[in-house]
Amino acid sequence: MEELIEKYALANALKYGGKANPGNIIGQIVKENPDAKQHIKTIQQQATAIVEAVNKLTLEEQKARLEALAPELLEKKEHKEHDLFAFLGVEQGQTLITGFPPEPSKYPHIGHAKACLANYEFAKRYGGKFHLRFDDTNPTLARKEFYDIILDNLKWLGVHPDRVDIASDNMDKFYTVAEILMKHGHVFVCDCDADLTNNLRYNGQACPHRNQPVEETLERWKQLKEGEVLRLRIAADHKNTTMRDPTIFRVIKEPHVRTGSTYHIWPTYDFETCLMDSFQSITYRLRSKEFELRTELHNYIQNLLGYPPTKYYEFARFELEGVETQGRVIREKIASKEYVGWDDPALATLVALRRRGFTPEAIKSFILSTGLTKNNSTLTWDDLYLHNRRVLNETAKRLFFVAEPMLVKINGAPKKHVKLNYFPSTKKGERSFDTHEEFYLAADDFSALQPGELYRLMDCVNFIEEPEDNYQYHSDDIETYRQSGSRIMHFIPKEHDAVHVEVLMPDKQVVKGLGESRVKQLHVGDIIQFERFGFCRLDSVAHGTYTFWFTHK
């Protein structure tokens, strides 16, 4: 019993900063060992003595003792994060190659980043490899600029692929595979029109071409025309509709951004993506739930050709509440100037998040926190802010910015040389201001001033508003302010070498004001915190005006 008490006392002490509470421990013991009630007096005496001894130990000693006695009771905080992929049952050291295959047709948004980061982190955690590939076998959708944009976005996120492949470089391989399937009688050429095909497939009925002899298929394949497709003969009435004799090649005359007019017969997405997984030796791929029905088909094709099947796991997607993700709508709003571009601050594309001041670390921890469950979730900007704030609190310098400045004279304020920390919590680095009687205050602060109230200029002076808009110096120290003060304000001394600052808010409103001189030392891309205003990223400097994008509070 004594050992049991000690275990719980140690765990309880570690949970509460080194001090265990006997009441909690006895409660726990009785809950788990109902018989203990009979000896409750003895247990209480023992607990009091043991807790006293445990509370005398340092946190390190408590931790070491608990580790020896009952390691399972140690807080499992660190483990939880590492366990994200544990349920997939992959063993450390097992061959693991994961992949992410974007189509080079759009700006990736935070939802796409989930599929990428999940595969990348999964590989990294189990000593595996991560392959990136462009699924670009639809010439009507692939666009030249997106190969580089996607690579650049992923690099910014901290994703470094072990290999990068391009599906359209493998056309000859796709044709070879098609001919193998043809010779073994697994395919047929079909020229039923789209409506008929949809109808037949919907009703689980075979099309007239299904029993085509191999010689005829070979002959027609050689000169496949627009409107003709090559279909895989699986089962016309398969219970999984994606398995009902799916199309694997079709004719698209439009030139391709990489191969020009060399090829006109293109593999469909289903055929291309699973074969590329085989060509790239992808062993495991995590992807979003809309692919769930297709997994059977992808593994079927791999099996048919004797490739080891890729394991696929589908997770739920998440959405950011109120954020537009439909490419068509975004394009329209860019055309009508409602959005400044794909990096508009209202969007959640990676280019937008980057320009607004979100850090890759925050995006990564936010995305991984959404987990790999099958339940769709809707998250808000606030959820993302939380992760970003955690990063920026450590890295973003605090500076003064006075929005819509109002000049105030504080009569009798002494000349001072005040020092303020860039990082008040860690005290890394400081800057100073020379102050006297005149200060610029933010319009918000100015309009809040009330006669008779005591106010404080941060780390500088306390003052009081007197009748008829007179402001009088009161005292210097923060203790006096704490007794009766009603608002602490940031400021810019009138004599200070201030700079013009503009901040673009997510709703496109522009807030103008004065920034302290240290703004001049910033580089475009730096993220800082304007004290009591919010985090902002320096976006451009022109004609002496420093333009920031507002990140969040």
Amino acid at 156: W
Number of shown-chain residues binding Zn ion (CB under 5 A): 4
- CA 339: distance to chain centroid? 22
Query: Interacting stretch for Zn ion, rule CB under 5 A, among 27-35, 59-67, 205-213, 218-226?
Result: 205-213
The smaller minimum CB distance to Zn ion, of residues 197 and 551, is found at 197
**Residue 336 CB, nearest distance to Zn ion (Å)?**
44
548 close to 527: Cβ distance less than 8 angstroms: no
Instruction: Choose one: 143-151, 208-216, 250-258, 317-325; the region binding Zn ion (CB under 5 A).
Output: 208-216
Does residue 207 bind Zn ion (CB under 5 A)?
yes
Measured from the CB atom, the residue of 194 and 542 that comes closer to Zn ion is 194
Q: How far is the CB of 192 from Zn ion (least distance, A)?
A: 3
CB of 271 to Zn ion, least distance (A): 18
Q: In this chain, which of 178, 192, 301, 347 binds Zn ion, going by CB under 5 A? A: 192
Quick one: which segment of 60-68, 204-212, 377-385, 420-428 binds Zn ion (CB under 5 A)? 204-212
Residue closer to Zn ion, measured from CB, 226 or 430? 226
CA distance 516 to 169: 54
Name the strand (E) or helix (H) holding 402: strand 401-403
For position 200 contacting Zn ion by CB under 5 A, the verdict is no
- Which lies closer to Zn ion via its Cβ, residue 57 or residue 182? 182
Q: Which residue has the tokens 């982190």?
A: 121
Q: How far apart are CA 68 and CA 180, in angstroms?
A: 62
Using CB under 5 A, pick the residue from 26, 97, 190, 457 that binds Zn ion: 190
Stretch that binds Zn ion, among 108-116, 187-195, 402-410, 478-486 (CB under 5 A): 187-195
**Rounded to the nearest 5 degrees, what angle is found at the Cα of 88, between the Cα atoms of 86 and 89?**
75
Q: Is the CB of 157 or the CB of 232 nearer to Zn ion? A: 232
190 or 234: CB nearest Zn ion: 190
Name the one range near Zn ion by CB under 5 A: 207-215, 222-230, 244-252, 296-304.
207-215
In this structure, the dihedral spanned by the alpha carbons of residues 58, 62, 63 and 66, taken in order and rounded to 10 degrees, is 170
Rounded to the nearest 10 degrees, what angle do helices 40-56 and 22-32 cross at?
130
User: SS3 string of 287-322?
Assistant: EEHHHHHHHHHHHHHHHHCCCCCCEEEEECCEEECC
| Least distance (Å) between residue 231 CB and Zn ion | 7
Q: Which CB atom, from 211 or from 509, has the smaller least distance to Zn ion?
A: 211
CB of 272 to Zn ion, least distance (A): 22
Which of the ranges 170-178, 185-193, 280-288, 477-485 carries the binding residues for Zn ion, by CB under 5 A? Answer: 185-193
The whole-angstrom separation of Cα 46 and Cα 52 is 10
Residue (35 or 195) nearer to Zn ion, CB: 195
Smallest gap from Cβ 171 to Zn ion, in A, equals 25
Q: Does 209 bind Zn ion (CB under 5 A)?
A: yes
Closest distance to Zn ion from the beta carbon of 139 (Å): 24
Please report how close the Cβ of residue 221 comes to Zn ion at its closest, in angstroms. Answer: 14
Q: Give CA separation, 42 vs 11, 37, 50, 53, 100, in Å.
A: 21, 10, 12, 17, 62
CA 179 to chain centre: 43
Q: Residue 386 — φ and ψ, nearest 5°?
A: -55, -45
Cα(533)–Cα(476) distance, integer angstroms: 24
Q: Among 345, 369, 372, which Cα is nearest to 356's?
A: 345
248 binds Zn ion (CB under 5 A): no
User: For residues 147 and 104, is the Cβ–Cβ distance under 8 A?
Assistant: yes
Nearer residue to Zn ion within complex by CB, 192 or 457: 192
Which are the contacts of 219, defined by CB distance < 8 A and separation ≥ 6? none
Q: How far is the CB of 300 from Zn ion (least distance, A)?
A: 20
Window of 28-36, 143-151, 209-217, 490-498 that interacts with Zn ion by CB under 5 A: 209-217
Closest approach, Cβ 245 to Zn ion, in A, equals 9
The secondary structure of 6-20 as a DSSP string is HHHHHHHHHHTTT--
Asked if 305 and 177 touch (Cβ cutoff 8 Å), the reply is: yes
Q: Which positions lie near Zn ion, rule CB under 5 A?
A: 190, 192, 207, 209
